[in-house]
Amino acid sequence: MGLKVYNTITQRKEEFIPLRKGRVGMYVCGVTVYDLCHIGHARSAVVFDVIYRYLKYKGYEVTYVRNFTDVDDKIINRALQEGTSTDEIAEKYIQEFYTDMGALGLQEPTFEPRATEHIPEMIEMIKRLLEKGHAYLVGGDVYYSVESFPEYGKLSKRSLDEMKAGARVEVDERKRNPLDFALWKAAKPEEPSWESPWGRGRPGWHIECSAMSQKYLGETLDIHGGGKDLIFPHHENEIAQSEGATEKPFVRYWLHNGFVNIDREKMSKSLGNILTVKEILKDYHPEVVRLFLISRHYRSPIDFSRQEMEVVRRNLERFYQTLAEINKILDEGVEKIDARGGLSPEEMAIYRRVEEFSHRFEEAMDDDFNTARALAPFFELSRDLNRLLQNPSAHTPFLLRRGRDAFLEAGKILGIFQEDPHVFLEGEKRRRAKDIPLTQKEIENLIKERDKARQQKDWARADEIRERLASHGIVLEDTGEVKLYYGAADTVICLATAHVDDLVRLCLEDSA
């Protein structure tokens, strides 16, 4: 089965056939650089980073374009508030974007155009739209006439009347239709402006993506992507102005990622629940964030919560623990043995699953880049590799090497397992120790007090202490005479009997 993608404009999965065999042109709407990136920006960036990686893995030559909007009302307002220039605001937040997305391991696109560097291309497109009757002048402003494009609404599947009723449109009595949008805005005091045939001014938001995408990818793109919030009006307007200017199909496949909610609520400034990438990376390793963002299908909404992030962190740590154990055995210099003929029935079953791993991974990714389903083989292979580690034989190194190589190759596509396992695990150990708010002495005293309560059959007090420790990321499990103490990442911090003084101290010091 070949690659199939869900096309927003047709609302169905279609076989992916690029315009030019073996080559893909992909344009993804980037950020407006007036503030720090939040988790919603990160989701779109990671989603299309994985798509970019997978297309290259499939053998395509990919030209990937992701833009920066560096002239916009929000940037102008921020510059006025801070008493600085729009250029300085844009440059500051472009650098912040690079810092955040670099930490998340994004690969660099082929081109990263800025709107202000492509004003001539925008002016040329606007001139063509005026000539073809799709645009009209009002003073020094130029507007696109949506009624001049009969197919307007074909992406969002809404009629002009429905869009008028549901959209918040800019009130301007000079417009022929309330949905008409600005291609060029006449200059205003304290705003950046450029010369044009219609006087000094600046471009509207939508025209920049049409002009820049066509400069780098031609008049018809293979893939255009972005968040679902861009379907209307931004992408709808891109279609109208692009196809109005060229009279050719603008995009073959439209891909849109779902929203990120915070604790089941929509993320918005009015609710005060905007979560920036920098804030998240204070608490979580970048690969934990990536794994979280790809743990749902890209078109589905995803809910950010601390509880969900802890589950993802535990899973990633277990994967790295398995890789660390494999590396330890292979680094001992055991010769790679290709002994398939001598494998036991259980080993042969694991060998077959290892060989099938890449096929199962590709099968999931070929189904509209279904990363959620593509993760399932990782968990299954990890269980197999752990069974080999627990019951080694002469053939174990051969199987471990094959399994590890398949694991890491697929991990590259998802952007995970890119760190040395020991470095990752040591970093998580330090992070856990920092996250535990109780002192060593407080933990020791609480454990002693709980033991005493249990001896006195004061079960309510024992449970109360257990719950208090759990609220601080320390989980107790009673297994006969032995107690297991877990940290927040569900890794054993220590083993102890009822006499805990020395062992608890040893465990806490080891995790610091």
* Segment 260-294, tens digit of pLDDT: 999 888 887 777 889 999 999 999 999 999 999 99
Confidence tier at 334 by pLDDT (50, 70, 90): low
- C-alpha–C-alpha distance, residues 481 and 308, integer Å: 32
Lowest mean pLDDT among 178-192, 268-282, 322-336: 322-336
Confidence tier at 340 by pLDDT (50, 70, 90): low
CB count, 10 Å around CB of 108?
13
Q: Are 24 and 223 in contact (CB under 8 A)?
A: yes
The pTM assigned to this predicted structure is: 0.85
Q: What is the mean pLDDT of residues 182-203?
A: 96
Confidence tier at 500 by pLDDT (50, 70, 90): very low
Q: Are 291 and 416 in contact (CB under 8 A)?
A: yes
| Res. 476: pLDDT tops 70 | no
What does the pLDDT look like over 378-399, one tens digit per residue?
A: 999 999 999 999 989 888 999 9
Q: What is the DSSP letter of 200?
A: S
| Res. 435: pLDDT tops 70 | no
Q: Kindly give the pairing relationship between strand 302-304 and strand 260-262.
A: parallel
User: What does R_g of the chain's alpha carbons equal in angstroms?
Assistant: 28
- C-alpha–C-alpha distance, residues 199 and 190, integer Å: 16
Angle among Cα 388, 394, 396 to the nearest 5 degrees reads 30
Q: What is the mean pLDDT of residues 459-468?
A: 85
Residue from 343, 345, 346 nearest 398 by CA: 343
Lowest mean pLDDT among 293-302, 336-345, 503-512: 503-512
What does the pLDDT look like over 391-432, one tens digit per residue?
A: 898 889 999 999 999 999 999 999 999 999 999 999 998 887
Average pLDDT, rounded, for the chain = 89
Q: What is the mean pLDDT of residues 35-55?
A: 98
| Res. 33: pLDDT tops 70 | yes
**What pLDDT is stored for residue 341 in this prediction?**
61
Most confident option among 252-256, 441-445, 459-463: 252-256
